[in-house]
Amino acid sequence: MTGETPAGGPSGGLLDHARELIAAGLEYLRARLALAGMEAREAAVHFAVIGGLLVLAIAVVVFGYLFFCIAVTVLVARWLGISPGWVILALAALHFAVAIASGFIAFVRLKKGVFSATLAELQKDQLWLSRKSK
């Protein structure tokens, strides 16, 4: 029983069939990787646009906050009838207090252990393995 290969020649043995199967698999993989490459470029552009919009949003929020602080400073200074410098000093002290408190809380949380349950399980496994090997 002689057959023909997809190229039109006579059918070979097991090695020819294996080579054709591998070639077909590699062609399939190449096509899928080419598609993934095109989609990766599209995704990169998509995420670059999203990143740019996030940076723009953050910049606008920062400037909005700055203008809000200036407005509050001027309004409080007029309301109290004092120099805006004192209100700015009080606002700066408030910001520094929040920054120091945030830094302290972050430092305390940094000392807290992470993956404690996983490390405990690994220690149990290590103890069990050391008992079994003896």
Q: Are 5 and 20 in contact (CB under 8 A)?
A: yes
Under the banding of pLDDT at 50, 70 and 90, the label for residue 134 is low
Q: Are 73 and 88 in contact (CB under 8 A)?
A: yes
Top pLDDT among 119 and 8 is at 119
Q: What is the mean pLDDT of the chain?
A: 89
pLDDT at position 1 is 45
- Listed in order, strand segments (DSSP E) in 3-52 are none
C-alpha span between 17 and 42 (Å, rounded): 38
Top pLDDT among 31 and 8 is at 31
